Structure 1
Amino acid sequence: MSGKKDTNWTLVPASARDIDAVRERCRQLVRRRAMVSAGVAAVPIPGLDVVSDLRMFALLIDDINQEFGLSERQIERLQPRFRVIAYEAAMGVGGMLVGKLVTREVVTQLLRRTGFKAVARQAGKLVPFAGQLASAGIGFYAFRQIGYQHVEACVRVAQELVAAGVHRPA
């Protein structure tokens, strides 16, 4: 296990207010990581940004899932009926990374779906300085958009669980 603290007991946010607070924390996290991604993209070393993005994005998805109480291990600790609700809600909103163990392969597949990012970045690096800035801008925007989409998928799953009474006593 990594040196990261074990937050697997984190619960799904208990109310709309809690969900909104977690959403905002996660959106800030996405913006910070997107800035780092943009900084790496501005470095004129071909391929460095893609390798960096894969790792940063996998960690970002894990962190967002943890914040919402929706990591694979956290969902497995829910009562069976809530597990079903969580996975059905995730499928319904297209949240393919909600409740999943995120691997490099999964992230690579997701980034391939947004293939314009890598192509635009690499093409932009052919033009000195201005190309590097364009590459950084494209990287920031793409990373942020994908991150925001995942946050919103987690919000919708958390809302479904709260509506189903995940925190109400049995």
Structure 2
Amino acid sequence: MDNQEEYQQNDSGEMTLEWAREEVDRLDHVTLNIAVTGESGSGKSAFVNAFRGLQDTDEGAAETGVTETTMEPTMYPHPTMPNVKIWDLPGIGSPMFKAETYMKDVKYPNYDFFIIVSASRFKENDAILAKEIMKKKKNFYFVRTKTDTDVSQEERKGVGEEQTLQKIRKNCLENLRTLGPPPVFLITSNKLERFDFPELVNTLERDLPYHKRDALVMSLPVHSKEFLDKKYSRFKKTAWVLATASAGITVIPVPGLSLAFDVAMVVSFLTKCYYSFGLNDGTLQKLSERVNKPILAKARESALVMAIAEESSLAAKAAARLGAAGVVEALCILVPGPGNIAAAGISFATTQSVLLEGVKELYSVAKGVIEMAEVK
């Protein structure tokens, strides 16, 4: 009987450990493949770059031009979230990619959803493509780019921005009326926070399976406080899940396991926050040069930012903070039943506190970066 109970406890512990590891690794392992398509010269590559937080001239940016520059599906990994992949697809209707065979030619099962881009009005090929995507039971979203150019041109004629946006939207919907018509999102890749990009993000987040939403939100370029707040909210929820995992690990009677797991988890989590908030040296250096302000130096005044950037002291700091609680947990476990419950509670509270304090500090630094760069 005692052997059977021991087996059940070990088996439960292994299951708890496996679940906890899955939760910790989920942000890295859940992939999101975004297909960006449309007619030649519609601004697909510029949109791909903007979504990745890159300028068209940055290293690793998709090639842009007034003619078709993408001759085959090209994958661009997100600079700081490699599990998010944006695919720049060839223009539909080009000699090598005809509308009737387009979906098969670009290997449609590889993508989670499609963004159909146009720089002017949507045409017959766009509608044909949307219908083919529907047949394959994939989601698609119409994105009308270069909206800022039209707004500026109309303003010179004395036409207000809202009136111009209504005119563009009406024209797009008329050309897509055979599809319902579907919603159209007006954006500019030069400044994603303008116009309908936030609404597009909210729609994508709503439509994606739950386990892929984190990947989307955490990969968003930090172009506005709204996007930053969205990331912060998501990370706070993740902190609760990870603290719960920590509590589950605590009851496994393996010396040092709980502390080792918690330290690795804290380091992984805060490093993920650091990159998602755009606080890595490369991103901040580019921003500093763009706005001609010492943003990188200002961000590095944070001890936590420095610890993550130098990849040296973060684990030691986490171990020191979590170690004292680990001693108490070990003593509690010596008392079966109530002791295990107490140990789990201590682990949950301590780990959650460390995670939340860390993400709050990184959020505060990122908010300061936005304010310093005068981004609203």
Moved more, 6-15 or 32-41: 6-15
Change (3 A) 1:77 1:11: farther
2:256 equivalent in structure 1: 47
Code of the residue aligned with 1:132 in structure 2: it is N
1:31 equivalent in structure 2: 240
Q: Does residue 155 of the first structure (1) align with residue 363 of the second (2)?
A: yes
1:164 equivalent in structure 2: 372
Code of the residue aligned with 2:349 in structure 1: it is Y
Change (3 A) 1:99 1:45: closer
Change (3 A) 1:109 1:151: closer
Secondary structure, in 3 states, of the residue corresponding to 1:110? helix
Change (3 A) 1:44 1:50: same
1:139 equivalent in structure 2: 347
Q: Is the 8 A contact 2:243 2:351 kept in 1?
A: yes
2:11 equivalent in structure 1: none
Q: Please, which of 73, 76, 85 is the counterpart of residue 298 of structure 2? A: 85
Q: Please state how far the C-alpha of 1:125 moved relative to its aligned partner.
A: 1.2
| 1:109-137 CA-partner distances (Å, limit 9, x unpaired) | 33313443111111111111211111111
| 1:29-49 CA-partner distances (Å, limit 9, x unpaired) | 111111111110121222111
Code of the residue aligned with 1:54 in structure 2: it is V
Moved more, 60-69 or 75-84: 75-84
Change (3 A) 1:139 1:17: same
Q: Is the 8 A contact 1:7 1:66 kept in 2?
A: no
Q: Please state how far the C-alpha of 1:149 moved relative to its aligned partner.
A: 0.6
Distance in 1 (alpha carbons) for counterparts of 2:245 and 2:365: 28
Q: Given the two structures, how large is their TM-score scaled by the length of structure 1?
A: 0.79
1:100 equivalent in structure 2: 309
| 1:19-68 CA-partner distances (Å, limit 9, x unpaired) | 21111111111111111111101212221111111211111111111221
Change (3 A) 1:99 1:14: farther
Code of the residue aligned with 1:32 in structure 2: it is V
Q: Is the 8 A contact 2:299 2:305 kept in 1?
A: no
Change (3 A) 1:76 1:137: farther
2:80 equivalent in structure 1: 8
Secondary structure, in 3 states, of the residue corresponding to 1:128? coil
Q: Is the 8 A contact 1:71 1:101 kept in 2?
A: no
The percent of aligned pairs where both chains have the same amino acid is: 22
Q: Does residue 120 of the first structure (1) align with residue 333 of the second (2)?
A: no
Distance in 2 (alpha carbons) for counterparts of 1:67 and 1:154: 10
Equivalenced residue count is 161
Moved more, 10-19 or 48-57: 10-19
Q: Which has the larger radius of gyration?
A: 2
Looking at both structures, which has the greater relative contact order when contacts are Cα pairs under 8 Å and sequence separation is at least 6? 1
Q: Is the 8 A contact 2:222 2:278 kept in 1?
A: yes
Q: Once superposed, what is the RMSD of the aligned Cα atoms? A: 2.7
Q: Is the 8 A contact 2:274 2:362 kept in 1?
A: yes
Distance in 1 (alpha carbons) for counterparts of 2:264 and 2:322: 16
Moved more, 77-86 or 37-46: 77-86
Distance in 2 (alpha carbons) for counterparts of 1:129 and 1:167: 53
Distance in 1 (alpha carbons) for counterparts of 2:238 and 2:307: 17
Code of the residue aligned with 1:136 in structure 2: it is A
Q: Does residue 66 of the first structure (1) align with residue 275 of the second (2)?
A: yes
Q: Please state how far the C-alpha of 1:77 moved relative to its aligned partner.
A: 4.6
Q: Please state how far the C-alpha of 1:12 moved relative to its aligned partner.
A: 6.2
Distance in 1 (alpha carbons) for counterparts of 2:308 and 2:284: 7
Secondary structure, in 3 states, of the residue corresponding to 2:336? coil
Unaligned runs of 5+ in 2: 1-27, 30-76, 82-218
